[in-house]
Amino acid sequence: MKRKLTLGVAGFFLILSSMTVPVSAAMLIETFALSGNGSFMASPPVFSGNIIAGTLAPGTFWFRLDDTGWGTDDPGTSNNERWDFIFSNYFQYDPTPGAEGWDGRFPSTLVGDYAPEWRFFTAAGDTCGGLATSFTITIRDYNANGIMEDSEYVSKVFSIGLFCYINFGTGEFLSYCGQGNCSGTLDLLDDATWDEDFYVPSEASASGRLYLSDTNCTTGTRDSSWGKIKKIHTD
């Protein structure tokens, strides 16, 4: 782990130092592991919890999805209409023999919704955030029948691409922007509420990464806040 981080840091700084950025530019590599929960049944769906390890720990986080048009579950029916909408509009089946499963990508090109947003808050009072360039959830079709059974929904994996925007930076990250990513597991905790365990490993690895720089983060500030963020979507 230390070797990888050292290589990553060295490479990142080496590459950025060779780019056309001012000599005074400052770069940061932040690491994190996350533990929290959330539910697709909440409106909007928010996955939130604690930053449990890494350079950003201790702290808290949230990821919020745009659920415009998702609707609600009708308790009078056997199906969950809200999930049916999500599943049919965001998830796509791959029938590759031996690797059958569904990949769900948020935002959806079908629905045309906004990219998920995210924030990290450190206990020291620093904030960074932005949108998710990709938020992909994968469900394995263990019996390869093309039907997603409850037992298959229980255990999922996800990966998230992060784009950090200066508008949401405070404290140490006031003048920083950049990009990063994380990956982890999304396991059902409660089949009544659809509450899910959201986990980016781990206490030991702190595998999430943010690569931040204080260069070229000043354009499109106030007019790029909520009004412009709302315009972010995949056509």
Site membership for another protein, residue 222 (CB under 8 A): no
> Stretches 40-48, 50-58, 81-89, 99-107: which one binds another protein (CB under 8 A)?
99-107
Q: How far is the C-alpha of 82 from the C-alpha of 20, rounded, in Å?
A: 48
Site membership for another protein, residue 193 (CB under 8 A): no
Site membership for another protein, residue 72 (CB under 8 A): no
Site membership for another protein, residue 160 (CB under 8 A): yes
Nearer to another protein among residue 120 and residue 124 (C-beta): 120
36 CA to centre of own chain? 12
Site membership for another protein, residue 223 (CB under 8 A): no
Nearer to another protein among residue 45 and residue 180 (C-beta): 180
Close Cβ partners of 40 (under 8 Å, ≥ 6 residues apart): 65, 82, 83, 86, 194, 196
Three-state DSSP class for residue 39: strand
Instruction: Choose which of 158, 168, 173, 176 interacts with another protein (CB under 8 A).
Output: 158
Residues 4-43 that bind another protein (CB under 8 A): 4, 7-8, 11-12, 14-16, 18-21
Site membership for another protein, residue 168 (CB under 8 A): no
Site membership for another protein, residue 52 (CB under 8 A): no
Site membership for another protein, residue 54 (CB under 8 A): no
Which of 35, 25, 73 is closest to 207 using CA atoms?
35
Pairing of strands 177-190, 155-164: antiparallel
Residue 212: CB atoms within 10 Å: 23
Instruction: Choose which of 130, 173, 176, 196 interacts with another protein (CB under 8 A).
Output: 130
Q: Answer yes or no: are the C-beta atoms of 49 and 198 closer than 8 Å.
A: yes
Nearer to another protein among residue 64 and residue 209 (C-beta): 209
Q: Answer yes or no: are the C-beta atoms of 156 and 185 closer than 8 Å.
A: yes
Q: How far is the C-alpha of 14 from the C-alpha of 112, rounded, in Å?
A: 38
Q: Residue 71 CB, nearest distance to another protein (Å)?
A: 25
Instruction: Choose which of 44, 108, 157, 172 interacts with another protein (CB under 8 A).
Output: 157
Q: Residue 56 CB, nearest distance to another protein (Å)?
A: 15
Q: How many CA atoms lie less than 13 Å away from 173 in the CB half-sphere? A: 29
